[in-house]
Amino acid sequence: MGENGTQERVCLMDLRPNNWTINRMKLDRVREAWQRDKQDELPPVLVATIDGELSLIDGHSRAYAAFERGQTHIEVFVSDLAQIEGSAALYRHIHRVGPQLGIKTIADLKDRIVEPEEHERLWIGYCSQWLEENEHADD
């Protein structure tokens, strides 16, 4: 996760998803961890502040499983966006467009849990195309 950042416990509903679908297979693995009471062995989710809000960068399956189990808070690792691998411009874009699609909290992903192939097509395909079209966005 990088060396710069802090670990803390935050309200799940304060996290804005930075992903618009959840891979069902990954979610099922996290659900299994909860069923075996091994959820504390899962790493904290990765968040960054974008536009003054906590944006959930990595760990959507972990966050959603915690939400399903009625958890109100989750362990997060807060990192500076510039320190996170990947395109900061893409992360900012996703954060800003999500609410237009009705995605403001982890609860909003309820009807967006898809099979791995669909996740690849919808989500990975979207991000790849956006990066191609905006290749200099981080410059």
Report phi then psi at 26, rounded to 5: -65, -40
CATH architecture of residue range(s) 6-133: Alpha-Beta Complex (3.90)
Provide the pLDDT for residue 1.
44
Higher per-residue pLDDT: 40 or 137:
40
Q: How do residues 111-122 score in pLDDT, each as one tens digit?
A: 999 999 999 999
Q: Is the pTM of this model over 0.85?
A: yes
For 74, the token pair is: 């989750």
Inter-CA distances, 40 with 6, 33, 34, 75, 133, Å: 18, 9, 9, 9, 40
Q: How do residues 35-93 score in pLDDT, each as one tens digit?
A: 999 999 999 999 999 999 999 999 999 999 999 999 999 999 999 999 999 999 999 99
Give me the mean pLDDT over the 8-29 stretch: 97
For 117, the token pair is: 């192939």
Provide the pLDDT for residue 136.
74
User: Domain boundaries in the chain?
Assistant: 6-133
